Amino acid sequence: MNPSHLKTPSGKLRARGAGVPFVGSPGRHNAITDVDGVEVGYCTLIKGDGPLVVGVGPVRTGVTAIFPRGRRAPNSAVFAGYFSMSGNGEMTGAAFIEERGQFDGPLTITNTHSCGLTRDVTARWLHTQLGVSAKNDQPFWLPVAAETYDGSLSDINGHHVKPEHVIAAFENARGGPIEEGSVGGGTGMRCYEFKAGSGTASRLVSYLDVEYCVGAFVQANFGKRHLLHIAGVPVGVQIPVGGAAETAAPEQGSIIIVVATDAPMLPHQLRRVARRSAFGIARSGGTAANESGDLMLAFSTANVGAVNSHRGVRQVEALGEEALSAFYEATIEAVDEAIMNSLFANETMVGRDGFTAPGLPIPRVREILRRHGRLVDGSG
């Protein structure tokens, strides 16, 4: 097994490294960056401890940037589809994706009160890098920016994400194995009342003797402890919440899912893929709670010439509908594993007012999985 399937670049244990069994065949790095051209960058902000002082801290936040075709082609468009499972959240540019079935430029993920800033900085950065002459359809950008709430751990009303942090995430973007856990926009997030944040995974799909890749990236910030299932085992009910610090704040929900593929798909097919990613949330116990914003985006890096043409007659390749079920399965599997990686590649974090988000107790989880015959031998 590729070492990057087991640990992150910094050595954090991923779910497979802890012995969690998964179905499906992952790509080279088991990451969204296995889709050729996709690059991911982070800027992580961690500062201060103790009581909340708005505008001062403590700060536990950041920015994630995803370039569908890499930094060398920052404005290259991709066909895309959008789905809202629960709308208590924000993803800018969604109306344009629904209308045109595409978007261009890097997409960003951050905290709830910085979503507008990352969107505006992206537009300004694209104009500075390229100028409006790079736009052959219209002389403005409608960037995709998404958010989840990190106010339980961070001074969210202090607006600590600044333009330079967005630019830093752009400059940090790269392919290959990427970090997970409390990095980038996922820095201050929780999932199933454990510390979570950024996670990724991928699956390979063969169709008509061609191998394609489906990659998923999540910013996970949803769920109650008792709902958590890992590899089909009801783990959460066996690790009850304890201590006032862990229960001080109610769930404020939300997950952002980005699915990428190199398979040629039309916008309506990508919208269907985005919808199926909701099953990846459900596999671990997510219910799209009232307080949750569960927003999904899927894009394809294929058809680069067609999607970037605005005039004339475009020649587009697309999978036949019979192929889609295999891609649905791959999406569900990759999203589920990405959520698990956001939990496993993490540790306890103390934030504002001493609020504690406990790290997943991996030895205890391994013992529970072992009792249920669901632990992979020779791991972790």
Diameter of the chain measured on Cα atoms = 64
Q: DSSP readout, 95-159? A: HHHHHHSEE-S-EEEEEGGGHHHHHHHHHHHHHHHH-GGG-SS-SS----EEEE--TTTS-GGG-
How far apart (Å, rounded) are the C-alpha atoms in residues 337 and 335? 5
Q: Residue 357: what residue type?
A: A
Give the count of beta carbons closer than 10 Å to the beta carbon of residue 172.
20
133 is catalytic: no
How far apart (Å, rounded) are the C-alpha atoms in residues 102 and 82? 10
- 3-state DSSP helix/strand/coil percent for the chain, to nearest 5? 35, 25, 45
Query: Could you give the angle at which helices 115-130 and 163-172 cross, rounded to 10 degrees?
Result: 60
How far apart (Å, rounded) are the C-alpha atoms in residues 202 and 331? 8
Contact 40, 62 (CB under 8 A): no
Q: Which of 152, 294, 300, 336 is catalytic?
A: 294
Query: Quick one: DSSP state of residue 215?
Result: E
Contact 332, 279 (CB under 8 A): yes
Q: Which of 202, 277, 292, 300 is catalytic?
A: 292
| Residue 356 φ/ψ, nearest 5 degrees | -115, 125
254 is catalytic: yes
Q: Which of 254, 277, 300, 342 is catalytic?
A: 254
Tell how far CA 195 is from the center of its chain.
15
Q: Is 319 helix (H, G, I), strand (E, B) or coil?
A: coil
Tell me the pairing of strands 293-300 and 78-87. Answer: antiparallel
Residue whose entry in the numeric block shows the structure tokens 């950041």: 62
| Residue 371 φ/ψ, nearest 5 degrees | -65, -30
Tokens of 25: 């065949």
294 is catalytic: yes
How far apart (Å, rounded) are the C-alpha atoms in residues 228 and 210? 36
| Catalytic residue set | 254, 292, 294
